[in-house]
Structure 1
Amino acid sequence: MRAQPAGAEARGEVVIETRGLAKRYRGTLAVDGLDLRVPRGSVFGFLGPNGSGKTTTIRMLMGLIEPTAGTARVLDQPMPRSARSVLPRVGALIEGPALYGFLSGRDNLVRYDAADPTADPRTRRARVGAALDRVGLGAAAGKKAKQYSLGMKQRLGLAAALLQPRDLLVLDEPTNGLDPQGMREIRGLVRELAADGTTVFLSSHLLDEIEQVCTHAAVMARGRLITQGPVAELSAGTRSRLAVTTPDPADAVRVLADHGVTALAESGQRVTGELPADPPDLAELNAALVAAGVRVRGFGLERGTLEDAFVALTGEGFDVAG
């Protein structure tokens, strides 16, 4: 199944667009015929298990490797041919930052900024300080990068991507190595950047990360695009499940099955199942449980999630939490 986002954005309203994009390594097709459209102003989640082709796709979009077939346009320019004019408008953190371990975090950013021909050296120190503060590294700016933890290195790489205002920010697994508090901070920063008008393209294998921060998403598996569109529409495409909390799960399963509920599953005191196409009245179903002596502690419908959508589309599951 391959769905397109709702609406037909004009080219100027699409920040990233690929057609038939493919990459083959020694006979292995890492990316297979990718047709991707990233709307301007979106926080776009690029979702898939590790090894699904996400990073290879990003490297092609950024002009780091040549595609085997197909085309890619970034900020309305063909890539990699227009890399020199496109990349100064893009901030990127791909496969972790490349750092000089013997330099401080601050001096690493000074080096990054000095390598940018569009950067104004007169404002360099101020911009470096602001970027460090924005990712929570102001107090550690003088520490050598080799002494940074993995999470701190990720933050420093993100700071490098934020040294100048960008039209597009490309982040490959930006919360890798971060503790839960750090993950929340990065998600908040992504929301701030999007509110300021930056389109954010965020690659992740964490479903809950995509659901919490992204407006749109695409799902990859084994090098192929499975689906793409607004996150709310992708989740809405899955059926809601009935969930019952009870100290009598076996009795609850029996009653629910008698009323047409299928795919029943028990987990401790929690029973879930799928309602039939012509579902019974929920109040009557709850009353039937009580009448059968089932002690109901909780009863209701749970909306479909991206995890449900992925499993429904591919028959597979993958890492869903940090």
Structure 2
Amino acid sequence: MAVPSRTPSSAPSDDVIRTRGLTKRFRGGQLAVDGLDLTVPRGSVFGFLGPNGSGKTTTIRMLMGLIAPSSGVATVLGESMPQSVGSVLPRVGALIEGPALYGFLSGRDNLARFDAADPTADPRTRQRRVAEALDRVGLSAAAGKKARAYSLGMKQRLGLASALLQPRELLVLDEPTNGLDPQGMREIRALVREVAAEGTTVFLSSHLLDEIEQVCTHAAVMSRGRLLVQGTVAELAARAQGRLVVRTPDVARAAEVLAARQVTDLRSAEGRVDGELDAPADDVLPAICAALVEAGVRVRGFGVERGTLEDAFVALTGEGFDVAG
């Protein structure tokens, strides 16, 4: 889905998206989103993270006024949704659940059709803006090809191009790299960074941790319809304390010492043993290092590897996750 936009306003509020108690229950009692309190700062690239079925797309559909919440409130660009759809959507570019394209039209003509539906778009600059949007997503060579002949990845690119026909205050992307090969993923990530650098807030939903870590400044983690945590990507990764790594030829002896010091989940490999700390690193590392030396362990490397977003997610939910990128 792509919607038209207008030039960003000159008096922005601090938060582009804010929800309080946002809830969606479908017929039959299915609770898709449960009491969501979400805050998206202006100027951020905000990653909305969670496994498939966690409630991400349902949340986005409520934010864009496509479905009404069962309870709770949502504001987008400072205005209540869905009550202010008419004034909010012209300021937003969106790609939700894949692009809605006219299969019998070419990629170029699809974009021209979308642009013509925007009452704020200047028809005198349409041809230039369509060409620029196609070029930004790497579809210039396929611009004359009918959309029904596009691959899934090409359709994703064309949908993103439709969201970039005009300047945006907010760009909402639901799984934007779906169907793309690794090179296409890298190109779309670079494009997201470019759009953000131009001053647009980007709200990006994904089930790929690698994607969030590479492009986002802030993130929120959803699971089974509930918000688990939100903050900067660095803050979320820091929730996982990381693992203590000892490099030594005396792996067996080092593992014994670490176990005696309550280092858990020990894993040994040639020349290395690592494990999880049960206390803040600054509090316990000096004593652990001293114990290794006293035990005659030849320590050739000692330190804590930084926790990742994957570590934080597993710590929060106990679930595995798709980290492919």
TM-score if structure 2 supplies the norm length? Answer: 0.88
Report the counterpart of residue 310 of structure 1 in structure 2: 313
Deviation track 1:123-182 (CA, whole Å, cap 9, x = no partner) reads 111000000101111111112222222111111110010000000000000111111221
Matched ranges for 1:232-243 at <5 A = 232-243=234-245
State the distance in 1 between where 2:102 and 2:30 align. Answer: 34
Residue-pair matches, total: 310
Secondary structure of residue in 2 paired with 1:51: coil
Report the counterpart of residue 113 of structure 1 in structure 2: 115
Report the counterpart of residue 198 of structure 1 in structure 2: 200
Report the counterpart of residue 7 of structure 1 in structure 2: none
Report the counterpart of residue 284 of structure 2 in structure 1: 279
State the distance in 2 between where 1:136 and 1:161 align. Answer: 14
Aligned partners of 1:93 and 1:170 also within 8 Å: yes
State the distance in 2 between where 1:17 and 1:197 align. Answer: 19
Cα shift at 1:220: 0.6
Deviation track 1:21-40 (CA, whole Å, cap 9, x = no partner) reads 11111201100111111111
Report the counterpart of residue 100 of structure 2 in structure 1: 98
State the distance in 1 between where 2:260 and 2:199 align. Answer: 53
Say if 1:249 and 1:141 are closer, same or farther in 2 by CA, change over 3 A. Answer: farther
State the distance in 2 between where 1:136 and 1:265 align. Answer: 45
Secondary structure of residue in 1 paired with 2:13: helix
What RMSD, in angstroms, separates the aligned Cα atoms of the two structures? Answer: 2.3
Aligned partners of 2:248 and 2:298 also within 8 Å: no
- Do residues 18 (structure 1) and 19 (structure 2) align? yes
Report the counterpart of residue 129 of structure 1 in structure 2: 131
State the distance in 2 between where 1:30 and 1:274 align. Answer: 34
Report the counterpart of residue 89 of structure 1 in structure 2: 91
Cα shift at 1:119: 1.3
Aligned partners of 1:175 and 1:183 also within 8 Å: yes
Cα shift at 1:118: 1.6
State the distance in 2 between where 1:253 and 1:39 align. Answer: 45
Cα shift at 1:285: 6.3
Report the counterpart of residue 58 of structure 1 in structure 2: 60
State the distance in 1 between where 2:166 and 2:293 align. Answer: 61
Q: Percent identical across equivalent pairs?
A: 75
Cα shift at 1:315: 2.1
User: 5+ unaligned residues in a row in structure 1: which ranges?
Assistant: 1-9
Larger mean CA deviation between 183-192 and 52-61 belongs to: 183-192
Secondary structure of residue in 1 paired with 2:130: helix
Aligned partners of 2:254 and 2:292 also within 8 Å: no
Say if 1:279 and 1:60 are closer, same or farther in 2 by CA, change over 3 A. Answer: same
Say if 1:29 and 1:245 are closer, same or farther in 2 by CA, change over 3 A. Answer: same
Cα shift at 1:256: 2.7
Report the counterpart of residue 5 of structure 1 in structure 2: none
Secondary structure of residue in 2 paired with 1:50: coil
TM-score if structure 1 supplies the norm length? Answer: 0.89
